[in-house]
Chains A and B, each alone.
Chain A
Amino acid sequence: QKEVEQDPGPLSVPEGAIVSLNCTYSNSAFQYFMWYRQYSRKGPELLMYTYSSGNKEDGRFTAQVDKSSKYISLFIRDSQPSDSATYLCAMSEIGSTLTFGKGTMLLVSP
């Protein structure tokens, strides 16, 4: 079983839709959880960063961590064509290196 699982997509939605992106993991020691957005041929950009469980909101983006289910989510409200990118989840134990999902490609059509 892979340590972090993420559906590769592509996930295609119309503009204005609510998008849900998810990752599951197996290591119960993970404490840091991140979401990155990566445009084609660019480096990943940190979108959301949470420590331990709970929700975090930043504008149109909401990150949720459910440690009991080993499941994290990123919600994008009122999606825009400029949100079209690959979204990577990442997580780590305290003091350890990051483990990344392989990314979900999101396509938002006008």
Chain B
Amino acid sequence: DVKVTQSSRYLVKRTGEKVFLECVQDMDHENMFWYRQDPGLGLRLIYFSYDVKMKEKGDIPEGYSVSREKKERFSLILESASTNQTSMYLCASTPGPGRGEQYFGPGTRLTVT
């Protein structure tokens, strides 16, 4: 079974803090993704990566950055957390070219106060 893990299930941070969310997959997948999910807005793609040290902007990259130093690990960074970044953050991975299915982690519920 594919396993995607995220570093925290619940996180509470203060406005202005730098926040790191980590994601690890154990199936040697090429592609990794970060989404946020909000009621009424659905899943929105923040950033994705097709390979180590590569990153691509998704639909809502503002206020976020990412890092992929190893194939199995993809980190999402909130440089200066704001209250409008309170959300459920979901990481996903997919095997690679020609494969469309994505496998999700359990999610991190981030609250910024």
Q: Which residues of A does B touch, CB under 8 Å?
A: 31-32, 34, 36, 41-46, 49, 51, 88, 90, 92, 94-95, 97-98, 100-103
Contact = CB atoms under 8 A, between A and B. Distances in A.
Interface residues of B, number: 22
B90 A46 contact: no
Interface of B: 4, 33, 40-43, 45, 48, 58, 88, 90, 97-98, 100-107, 109
Given A43-B90, A95-B97, 8 more contacts: A34-B102, A41-B88, A41-B109, A43-B105, A46-B101, A46-B104, A51-B100, A97-B48
A43 B37 CA distance: 10
A51 B98 CA distance: 10
A32 B106 CA distance: 23
B102 A102 contact: no
Interface-centre pick from A44, A49, A90, A103 (highest chain B CB count, 10 A): A44
A46 B103 CA distance: 7
A78 B97 CA distance: 36
23 contacts: A32-B100, A34-B100, A34-B101, A36-B104, A41-B107, A41-B109, A42-B106, A43-B4, A43-B90, A43-B104, A43-B107, A44-B90, A45-B104, A46-B103, A51-B100, A88-B42, A92-B100, A97-B33, A97-B48, A97-B58, A100-B42, A101-B42, A102-B42
